[in-house]
């Protein structure tokens, strides 16, 4: 672990404003709630439609706040000169009147404007800190877990950083690396990083609560990469690519938006796969996307280079299932070509 804080002293519980929205942020929040620290306010994005029926649902973080009777703010935007200035102004007035020691942000999804960063700084010397799921400066931005897997990184990690106006540009307070396994999907890696982030954050909060001096380490300008938001059109598989690249794509896009391909104009989502190029050759005449073999282990498909085995898939309008289960009720034949 690369913890940059100094330890010692008596812990005095902190009053925290917490901002976060998805499952990752929920895990971090639940971690804080197991400590002596007090969450005075939760900020999360407005309820939005989700699921098949597109019913309005609260965010995972809001669900926890409601269960624990924590005060809530759900502004659509925090920009005083944006499309929702009244909501932003109301949030500003509320926070100005609130007594808190530190603001913690994890996957909130809204840009924190300068007025909020300044306000948090005025409440304490720590200001606003962020839990980010990468080893900064690699993978600043919205989708660090997806991009790390897709790019073939062999490790990632968590940083606790002081928030600045730039995109994930602030100095690092603490960090810890985590290996990316060959079988990791965004879901499995997300879950491990969330637990790691919760622990690392709580260690940092304890250090702050003991009144210890934090050592701020400025990020290097070397090795900066940006994790752009995943677009749905990126999920279409190009079978001309190498099997290991397609394997990473499928794992990176699980559980959302899920990689897809077509066979005879029918859409198939591919959930789990395996690059079997070391044990299976595609043959000289095979075309990219061609079904080479179907067995109890899965559906083997030729790629531009190498062979990919599909282990779990989903036909449009059907449920996700193993390839073995799928072939009991669906017909895919050797020689057919996915596109």
User: Which domains are seen in the chain, by residue range?
Assistant: 2-227 (3.40.50.170), 235-329 (3.10.25.10)
Indicate whether 7 pLDDT > 60: no
Residue with tokens 């010397």: 125
| pLDDT at position 331 | 87
In terms of phi and psi (left: phi > 0; alpha: psi -120 to 50; beta: otherwise), the region of 238 is beta
pLDDT of res. 26? 98
The whole-model pTM stands at 0.93
**ω before 137 within 30° of 0 (cis)?**
yes
Strand 140-141, strand 226-227: pairing: parallel
Residue 4: the pLDDT is: 39
pLDDT the model gives residue 297: 94
- Which residues are CB-contacts of 35 (< 8 A; sequence separation ≥ 6)? 13, 202, 205, 206
pLDDT at 259: 98
The whole-number pLDDT of residue 9 equals 56
Tell me the two tokens of residue 333. Answer: 């034949």
Residue 1 has pLDDT above 80, yes or no: no
* Segment 305-333 mean pLDDT: 94
pLDDT at 3 over 70: no
pLDDT value, residue 199: 98
Average predicted confidence (pLDDT) for the chain: 94
* Mean pLDDT across 135-141: 97
CB 173 within 8 A of CB 204: yes
State pLDDT tens for residues 81-110.
999 999 999 999 999 999 999 999 999 999
Give the up-direction half-sphere exposure of residue 177: CA atoms within 13 A in the CB hemisphere: 8
- Per-residue pLDDT tens over the stretch 9-65: 578 899 999 999 999 999 999 999 999 999 999 999 999 987 777 789 999 999 999
Above 80 in pLDDT, residue 299? yes
Contacts (Cβ under 8 Å, ≥6 apart) of 295: none
Predicted confidence at residue 282, as pLDDT, reads 81
With tokens 């300068």, the residue in question is 114
Region 108-121: what's the mean pLDDT? 96
3-class DSSP state for residue 317? coil
For residue 272, is pLDDT > 70? yes
Tell me the average pLDDT across 208-214: 91
Q: What is the dihedral of CA 7, 10, 13, 15, to 10 degrees?
A: -70
Q: What percent of the chain has a predicted confidence (pLDDT) above 70?
A: 97
Mean per-residue pLDDT, 142-171? 96
Q: What percent of the chain has pLDDT over 90?
A: 89
- Residue 43: exposed, middle, or buried by beta-carbon count in 10 A (0-12, 13-18, 19+)? buried
Token pair of 16 as six digits: 């925290």
Contact of 230 with 291, CB cutoff 8 Å: no
Q: Residue 254 has which token pair?
A: 């699980």
Instruction: Report CA-CA distances (Å) from 313 to 92, 209, 321.
Output: 47, 49, 6
């Amino acid at each position: 672990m690369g913890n940059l804080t100094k330890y010692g002293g008596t812990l005095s519980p902190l009053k925290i404003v917490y901002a976060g929205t998805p499952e990752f942020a929920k895990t971090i929040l639940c971690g804080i709630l197991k400590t002596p620290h007090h969450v005075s306010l939760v900020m999360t994005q407005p309820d939005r439609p989700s699921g098949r029926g597109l019913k309005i649902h609260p965010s995972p973080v809001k669900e926890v706040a409601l269960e624990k009777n924590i005060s809530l703010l759900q502004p659509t935007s925090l920009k005083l000169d944006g499309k929702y200035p009244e909501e932003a102004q109301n949030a500003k007035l509320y926070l100005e009147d609130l007594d808190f020691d530190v603001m913690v942000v994890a996957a909130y999804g809204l840009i924190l404007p300068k007025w909020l960063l300044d306000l948090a700084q005025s409440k304490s010397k720590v200001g606003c800190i962020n839990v980010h799921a990468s080893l900064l400066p690699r993978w600043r931005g919205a989708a660090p877990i997806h991009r790390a897997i897709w790019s073939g990184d062999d490790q990632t990690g968590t940083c606790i950083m002081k928030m600045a106006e730039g995109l994930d540009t602030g100095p690092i307070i603490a960090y810890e690396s985590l290996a990316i396994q060959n079988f990791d999907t965004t879901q499995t890696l997300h879950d491990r990083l969330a637990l790691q982030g919760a622990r690392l954050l709580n260690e940092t909060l304890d250090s702050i609560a003991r009144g210890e001096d934090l050592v701020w380490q400025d990020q290097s300008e070397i090795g900066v990469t940006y994790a752009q938001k995943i677009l749905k059109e990126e999920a279409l598989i190009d079978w001309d690519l190498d099997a290991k690249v397609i394997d990473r794509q499928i794992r990176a896009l699980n559980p959302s938006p899920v990689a897809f391909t077509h066979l005879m104009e029918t859409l198939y989502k591919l959930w789990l796969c395996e690059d079997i190029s070391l044990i299976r050759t595609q043959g000289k005449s095979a075309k990219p996307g061609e079904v080479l073999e179907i067995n109890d282990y899965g559906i083997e498909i030729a790629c531009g280079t190498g062979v990919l085995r599909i282990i779990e898939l989903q036909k449009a309008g059907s449920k996700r299932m193993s390839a073995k289960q799928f072939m009991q009720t669906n017909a895919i034949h050797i020689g057919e070509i996915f596109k």
